[in-house]
Amino acid sequence: MVPGDPSEDATRGEEWSRWMAAAQDGDRAAYERLLRDIVPFIRAVVFRQHRAADGIDEVVQDVLLTVHKVRHTYDPARPFKHWLAMIARRRSIDVLRRRSRRHAHEIADDAAYETFADPAANRHLEMRAAAEGLGEALASLPAQQREAVELLKLREMSLAQASKVSGRSVAALKVSVHRAIKSLRKQMVESWRG
């Protein structure tokens, strides 16, 4: 969608509203058209909040999942774009907050690159170096286990969200992530022992 022409914008909004009303009644074709069509609009709203292209798709997908979950709350008598923009903004803010909380626990520590006299203190640095190998260990996992770790641990999705994204059952995801963690732990312990 190219923003700019207000009349075209309004027409597009009315069209989306009709598609969503049809989707609420079970019209999958209208729903698919709608979801494809709204992605650029969601991306634009999310970009305005984040001001960085990094990680935007993750937020856009989160917004799509939320739209799906709350689609029964849309009233076709009201403007669709406003409804959608509010969801996109709210979810963006939630993701930003989650990220900033995560960053608050991460400190850039230049001294960490020094070697300390106390061997126990050096173990921390060694573990840090070993953590760099985690990416490799992750890459060596079977595809299903890697996907489970990525969705549940790295992208911090709930089991329900991850199940929707991956198309796999919650039980299967739990088993995969459990096996993946076990396998990663084994690989990391082996690498520390040298």
Partner 1 sequence: MVEGMEQVIGRLVADAAPVRRLRPPILRAVLWLVAVAAIAAVAILWFSNLEIFARRAEDPRLAVELAGTLLTGIAAVIAAFELSLPDRSGRWSLLPLPPLALWIASSGYGCYRHWLRFGPEGWAIGESAHCFVFILGASVPLAISLVILLRIAHPLSPLRVAAVGGLGVAGIAAFLLQFFHPFDVTLMDLGIHAAAVAIVVAVTAAAGGRRTA
Among 31, 137, 148, 184, binds partner 1 (CB under 8 A): 31
Least Cβ distance, residue 167 to partner 1 (angstroms): 5
Q: Please write down the HEC assignment for all residues of the chain.
A: CCCCCHHHHHHHHHHHHHHHHHHHCCCHHHHHHHHHHHHHHHHHHHHHHHCCCCCHHHHHHHHHHHHHHCHHHCCCCCCHHHHHHHHHHHHHHHHHHHHHHHHHCCCCCHHHHCCCCCHHHHHHHHHHHHHHCHHHHHHCCCHHHHHHHHHHHHCCCCHHHHHHHHCCCHHHHHHHHHHHHHHHHHHHHHHHHC
Among 47, 50, 55, 71, binds partner 1 (CB under 8 A): 71
As measured in angstroms, the least distance from the Cβ of 105 to partner 1 is 21
Q: Does 70 bind partner 1 (CB under 8 A)?
A: yes
119-178 positions binding partner 1, by CB under 8 A: 158, 160-161, 164-165, 167
Under rule CB under 8 A, residue 23 binds partner 1 = yes
**Residue 101 makes contact with partner 1 by CB under 8 A:** no
Stretch that binds partner 1, among 47-55, 69-77, 103-111, 135-143 (CB under 8 A): 69-77
